[in-house]
Structure 1
Amino acid sequence: MIGIAQTANLALCDMAIERAQARTQSLPGMVCLYGPSGTGKSVAASFVANRRRAYYVQAKSVWTKKFFLQAILREMGISTVKTLPEMLEIAAQELALSNRPLIIDEMDHLIDKNAVELVRDLYESSQAVILLIGEERLPDKLKKYERFHGRVLDWVPARLVDLDDARQLASHYAPSIEVADDLLDMLIAHAAGSIRRIVVNLERIHEVALSCGWTIADQANWANRPLYTGHAPKRRLL
């Protein structure tokens, strides 16, 4: 499998950074991509980070402010130093001098750790393009941080998976067969907007098609075979 499926959210992520990079000096430089889990935000961010030569960090629930800055410096190839102010200064200086964007994935975790002002300090000290990625409620969570909220240039809602996305995904995850639109429509209906669920089902369909000798998978030959929905099966009590 070569490359990555060119989904709508990958394009949205790329365009968000491009708009921020092309902004005038008077406009803020942070952008936010938000949406439900499973819509491919992290995959898109990782791909765009390579395309745009962006620094990329994915926050974890256990991260402290210090570990967050250490992760950024490691991504930059810079040895970490002892104090938070020093790390902040060095990271901001590198962002300013390199003119490379910073992508912060799982921004919700940093809000939970009261690190929002630290991200704002990074932006204020560097004026770098910073892309924030988080869950559906990320904009609401950031509203209470007025000084931060006002520095976001663009709020970009991630799109739920559609037929065009499903076709792109099918070419990657079921490359040896043709997946008909009627079956893709059925996958979308079961996916509840999640690219991840589409991918799981496409891999299942590909395996079944190869074992059955199909060249085309459609609703007729898929019949009543089960599809992955993400829900645990209900226990049957005797």
Structure 2
Amino acid sequence: MKKGIFIETENVSRFESVMRQALDTERGRPGMVCVYSAAGLGKTLAAERHYAQHGGAYVRVWEDWSQQAFLQAIAFELTGSRPHGSDRCKWAICEALADNRRVIYVDEADRLNIKRIEDLRDIYVYTGVPIVLIGELGLPTMLSARARVDDRIPGEYRVEFTGISATDVMLYAQEAAGLDLSPEASAMVAKGTKGNFRRIHNVLLSLEQAALAADTVEVDADMVKRVRA
């Protein structure tokens, strides 16, 4: 299978639409963004792709990060330096964003102490830049514990990634492996993997081998049954 293939799934389309609104200072609605789902549904890939295209600061949370370590990680992404002291970090972040509006992406945000979320709220209030919180299904519940944070995430800026559809499976199989899955085969893969992108990838690897052995690019339901047996 080809590496680095990215398809614009229904999930990605919804995420991109929200980010366009959040970045549109004239017509968009200000607010923080919450992206959440069970593991393996592509939210991190979507956020990393958006970051690669638009820049900003992308940090992946470490367990038990202190306030200073967390803020230093963001400051380093924006300024290339790690100021000593939490207050200095916050001001360095805010100053870096004052004249250059950039997104802050925080992946695995559900691992953060709630006080670190408050630090992000402070930065958002001061700068108005979009802050994208990415995490698993418990993230919205965690954020709801602090009304002053929760109130800054508009309803339309809460993006839940759901299972990848049969149509997306068909497109990914074609783009990544050159396989033509029948509608029934695509539906079986989507259902059998519960729409989990990582599992879909593994199934397609098996289907690619089976199709190669059969000297075909056509994949029907029977072939899916054989590789899933």
The verdict on a shared fold, with TM-score over 0.5 as the criterion, is yes
1:134 aligns with 2:124: no
- Within 2, Cα distance between the matches of 1:102 and 1:214? 46
1:173 aligns with 2:176: yes
> What's the secondary structure of 1:168's corresponding residue?
helix
Percentage of pairs with the same residue: 26
Q: Which moved more, 1:17-26 or 1:100-109?
A: 17-26
TM-score (ref. length: structure 2): 0.89
Contact residue 41 and residue 163 of structure 2 kept, 8 A: yes
TM-score (ref. length: structure 1): 0.86
- Within 2, Cα distance between the matches of 1:138 and 1:109? 9
Instruction: Decide which of 33, 36, 48 is 1:34's aligned counterpart.
Output: 36
- Within 2, Cα distance between the matches of 1:27 and 1:12? 16
- Within 1, Cα distance between the matches of 2:147 and 2:26? 22
- How far apart are residue 78 of structure 1 and its match? 1.9
Equivalenced residue count is 225
Structure 1 counterpart of 2:21, which letter? R
Runs ≥4 residues deviating over 4 A: 23-27
- Could you list the runs of 5+ residues in structure 2 that have no partner in the other structure? none
- How far apart are residue 88 of structure 1 and its match? 0.9
> What's the secondary structure of 2:105's corresponding residue?
strand
Instruction: Decide which of 179, 204, 207 is 2:206's aligned counterpart.
Output: 204
Instruction: Decide which of 15, 18, 22 is 2:17's aligned counterpart.
Output: 15
- Within 1, Cα distance between the matches of 2:43 and 2:30? 22
Contact residue 178 and residue 215 of structure 1 kept, 8 A: yes
> What's the secondary structure of 2:115's corresponding residue?
coil
1:157 aligns with 2:160: yes
Higher helix share: 2
Q: Deviations over 1:86-115 (max 9, x none)?
A: 0011112212321111111111011x4631
**Structure 1 counterpart of 2:227:** 225
- Within 2, Cα distance between the matches of 1:158 and 1:222? 25
Contact residue 34 and residue 132 of structure 2 kept, 8 A: yes
- Within 2, Cα distance between the matches of 1:41 and 1:108? 14
- Within 1, Cα distance between the matches of 2:213 and 2:198? 23
- How far apart are residue 29 of structure 1 and its match? 2.2
> What's the secondary structure of 1:79's corresponding residue?
coil
- Within 1, Cα distance between the matches of 2:25 and 2:135? 23
Contact residue 96 and residue 128 of structure 1 kept, 8 A: no
- How far apart are residue 28 of structure 1 and its match? 3.5
Contact residue 58 and residue 105 of structure 1 kept, 8 A: yes
Contact residue 7 and residue 168 of structure 1 kept, 8 A: no
Question: What is the alpha-carbon root mean square deviation over aligned residues?
Answer: 2.1
- How far apart are residue 27 of structure 1 and its match? 5.0
- Could you list the runs of 5+ residues in structure 1 that have no partner in the other structure? 228-238
